[in-house]
Amino acid sequence: MAEEVRNAGEENSGERSRRERTEEGGARDSAVMMHSPTLWPSPPLILSASAPIGSSPSVGAASLRLCMLPTPSICTVQGNKTQIIVMSYEDHFQVIATQIGTMGTILHARKEGVSINPTFNVSVIFGKRDEPMLAACARQLIEKISLSGSSKPLVLSLGLKDHSKETLKGIISAVMDNGLW
């Protein structure tokens, strides 16, 4: 077992599976073939839990295999290079805005009710709970998304160098320019 964990940190799991099947005399199956360059145009993205967005992929025992992320939109907000990623899922939107290369504070925002004067609920999932400007940013975004006709909730990740009003206005503007709603 310890050798398996050590091997997982040293090499790609697809290569390990291929090696183990070859040693066992087994045939290559479709799960192994997925890693073939002819069937998989680019290697699967492997991000470790602590790897910053945009860093080189790493392989390790604690790595997390994810689907390929969309290419981030890069802009400058208050003099800081900012990466914006907007993803639409069947039941929600996910927005990542980072200046520090990590996800930062993660918030959930949703519209309550379908009346003429709706209310919006924002909660911090992970991160800084004592930053009211982050919650205000999430509320502004969900309100704008709602006005565009969508009723999906928003999962917002803000990894920002500063939480000033001007920075958050720039983030809102950049996100709305890259929106999928």
- Give the per-residue pLDDT at 54: 55
* Angstrom distances, CA of residue 166 to CA of 95, 97, 109, 172, 175: 19, 15, 21, 10, 14
CATH no., domain 73-177 = 3.30.230.90
Residue 44 has pLDDT above 90, yes or no: no
Query: Would you state the torsion angle of the CA atoms of residues 166, 155, 61, 13, taken in this order, to the nearest 10 degrees?
Result: -120
- Give the per-residue pLDDT at 72: 87
User: Mean pLDDT, to the nearest integer, of 95-110?
Assistant: 96
Long-range contacts of the stretch 173-177 (C-beta < 8 A, 24+) = 174/73, 174/75, 174/77, 174/82, 174/84, 174/97, 175/84, 175/86, 175/95, 175/97, 175/141, 176/141, 176/144, 177/73
Predicted confidence band of residue 99 (pLDDT cuts 50, 70, 90): very high
Which regions of the chain carry the CATH code 3.30.230.90? 73-177
- Give the per-residue pLDDT at 53: 55
- Give the per-residue pLDDT at 114: 77
Is-contact 32 13, C-beta < 8 A? no
- Give the per-residue pLDDT at 71: 82
User: Mean pLDDT, to the nearest integer, of 29-43?
Assistant: 36
- Give the per-residue pLDDT at 179: 81
Query: What are 115-165's pLDDT values in tens digits?
Result: 788 899 999 999 999 999 999 999 999 999 999 989 999 999 999 999 999
pTM: 0.62
- Give the per-residue pLDDT at 48: 42
